[in-house]
Amino acid sequence: TEINAATDNPTVFPDEDVVVSAGNFHGQPIALAMDFLAIAVAELGNISERRTYKLISGARELPNFLVKNPGLNSGFMIPQYAAASIVSQSKGLCMPASVDSIPSSQGQEDHVSMGSNAATKLWRVVLNTERVLAIELFNAAQALEFRRPLHSSPAIEEMHAAYRKSVPFIDNDEVMYPHIESSIQFLRAL
């Protein structure tokens, strides 16, 4: 139903095999949904970043920053900083596009949904959240190895073994962004 209100002409009636060109430009129902979805997805990223922080904070009998020699090594502090920064950007992108409209064409065009702006902002929030989830996975895999000889469920252990084929355990400080990118690619392949 809403696809006929999404962006502009025409309106499609597939049951009657009719296409009507008219001024059906107002896609507010879809614009609102995309704005709300961006907020929900940004919140998922926010929750993920908080779990990442808990993993590096020295709680849960894990070493600070998830490295053997914290102090000498900053370990997973920088990936957590990156996640926090990305989450903040997503929050900024969550100002609803659907509340904004700018008349154009010498005032001939009236209030519009700004649905295309809502869509492009939503896409950026989705990509940001994917990156934050990949950073959490990177941290969680590291934390899991500090729990050895204990083991998790067979499904998690299987996923961890597959993940380790793409992303190594980190002993000492090194450049982390290639590992974050590998973690993103791992998530995309699931």
- CB 115 within 8 Å of CB 29: no
Q: Which of the residue ranges 9-13, 134-138, 171-175 would you say has the lowest mean pLDDT?
A: 9-13
Q: Who has greater pLDDT, 155 or 20? A: 155
Does residue 8 lie within any of the structural domains? no
Residue 41's CATH number: 1.20.200.10
Asked if the structure places residue 113 within a domain, the reply is yes
pLDDT (0 to 100) of residue 22: 65
pLDDT for the residue 110: 67
Q: What is the pTM of this model?
A: 0.85
In a domain, 1, yes or no: no
10 lies in some domain: no
Cis peptide before 10 (omega within 30 of 0): yes
| 11 is a domain residue | no
Residue 96 is assigned to a structural domain of this protein: yes
pLDDT in tens, 48-91: 999 999 999 998 899 999 998 888 899 999 999 999 999 999 99
Domain that holds residue 119: 24-189
Span 95-133, pLDDT tens digits = 999 998 877 777 776 677 888 899 999 999 999 999 999
What pLDDT was estimated at residue 12?
A: 79
C-alpha dihedral sign at 147, 149, 153, 157? positive
DSSP lists the bridge partners of residue 32 as: none
Whether 79 is covered by a domain: the verdict is: yes
Report yes or no on 17 lying in a domain: no
Domain total in the chain: 1
